[in-house]
Structure 1
């Protein structure tokens, strides 16, 4: 059974990339998270009450309201890097078990506790993430892993707690996965063109590919 292992909220600290701002990359376990629908744009905040977003030019808003990453992948990275990786260390609000987010479909809906989440867009590994991890060629290595976790938009607000089940509510017919979207995001032109043709991205992101392929 797929479930939530840990619900996580930012512990703000100076940006590890050296920028003059507080970063929310470090998430710590909380008893629960309250999930709401943020405003539509970057800078409109997290979908998780009490969370913190430092990079308001690229994070936050409806399409990046909640972020999940699988414990299984954290364990694999822990073995590769030779160090412990606690829940929340990749900046995820939900540390999950029993589900492979690379296989989740764009726009697929999931019931998670009281909340309905919908798969939105891939994560782009950035300088802040790389500096936070402190590992050689981290952006390249994370990209080559093929697993970026998943961002979600919020369709139904509510509370999520550790132990809540994660249940798929539908199976979009397009069949385009988060793993494929991540590869497209990070430079696979063939997959990017296919994703654009399917017209399955939120309007802001679809417009970027319209400029590229239209």
Structure 2
């Protein structure tokens, strides 16, 4: 499987105006060739505004598959700019159907591990002025995913990306999104995802709540 870095992006939060509302967001990233240092905490020059839903040790790199750009351009009749989804890496050859939670990859000098599918937010729509895009990325399981850093090192736009180890549980990011958005009462599916040790804590908490609800449905 050939994997290519199409774009590498980094950026700090900034204040912007969406309509009449002021907001601070980290979704605006600038393209760079690198090299950038990827630490256990974050990517060099990169930070988030909302630490509850972004960043942290389980989300040091945000990834978006390059293959989806053409799909959304056709679906919405638009022309998305590079880095449209605020990702750090745009990768070709590694979609949500291909990555499993817990898979480890070498990216340049760094070693990273898939921790969760991305739960998109409305900031995507506000940034791009496209109504409903963020919801469709979730419903169609084309929302991207996150890496944690297992080994620090420099990464660059021309870095090689290769699979080091496939997680034995075989739980894809696509399966995770389908379960949460289309099959959240499926206790077996929820348990299957929860069984993956590498799963990010925020997803683990969310799925445990869904599992409790699935196992103890309210009457009438």
Q: For this structure pair, what is the TM-score category when the shorter chain's length is used for normalisation?
A: 0.7 to 0.9
* Cα deviation, residue 203, structure 1: 4.2
Give the TM-score of the pair, scaled to structure 1. Answer: 0.85
Q: Which has the larger radius of gyration?
A: 2
Are positions 1:202 and 2:200 aligned together? Answer: yes
CA distance in structure 1 between the aligned counterparts of 2:44 and 2:198, rounded to whole angstroms: 28
Are positions 1:6 and 2:7 aligned together? Answer: yes
SS of structure 2 residue aligned to 1:169: strand
Structure 1 pair 53–19 and aligned structure 2 pair: CA distance change class (3 A): farther
* Cα deviation, residue 199, structure 1: 5.5
Partner of 1:44: none
SS of structure 1 residue aligned to 2:62: strand
Are positions 1:144 and 2:146 aligned together? Answer: no
Give the TM-score of the pair, scaled to structure 2. Answer: 0.83
SS of structure 1 residue aligned to 2:58: helix
Are positions 1:36 and 2:31 aligned together? Answer: no
Partner of 1:23: 25
SS of structure 2 residue aligned to 1:130: helix
Structure 1 pair 165–206 and aligned structure 2 pair: CA distance change class (3 A): same
Are positions 1:73 and 2:68 aligned together? Answer: yes
Partner of 1:124: 119
* Cα deviation, residue 155, structure 1: 0.5
SS of structure 2 residue aligned to 1:162: coil
SS of structure 2 residue aligned to 1:107: coil
Structure 1 pair 203–84 and aligned structure 2 pair: CA distance change class (3 A): closer
Partner of 1:183: 178
User: Does the 8 Å CA contact 1:106/1:121 hold for their aligned counterparts?
Assistant: yes
CA distance in structure 2 between the aligned counterparts of 1:60 and 1:157, rounded to whole angstroms: 16
Structure 1 pair 22–3 and aligned structure 2 pair: CA distance change class (3 A): same
Partner of 1:99: 94
Q: Which is further off, 107-116 or 158-167?
A: 158-167
CA distance in structure 1 between the aligned counterparts of 2:125 and 2:39, rounded to whole angstroms: 29
Structure 1: gaps spanning 5 or more residues: 39-46
Structure 2: gaps spanning 5 or more residues: 213-220
* Cα deviation, residue 207, structure 1: 3.8
Q: Which is further off, 96-105 or 1-10?
A: 96-105
SS of structure 1 residue aligned to 2:97: helix
User: Does the 8 Å CA contact 1:53/1:60 hold for their aligned counterparts?
Assistant: yes
CA distance in structure 2 between the aligned counterparts of 1:52 and 1:207, rounded to whole angstroms: 24
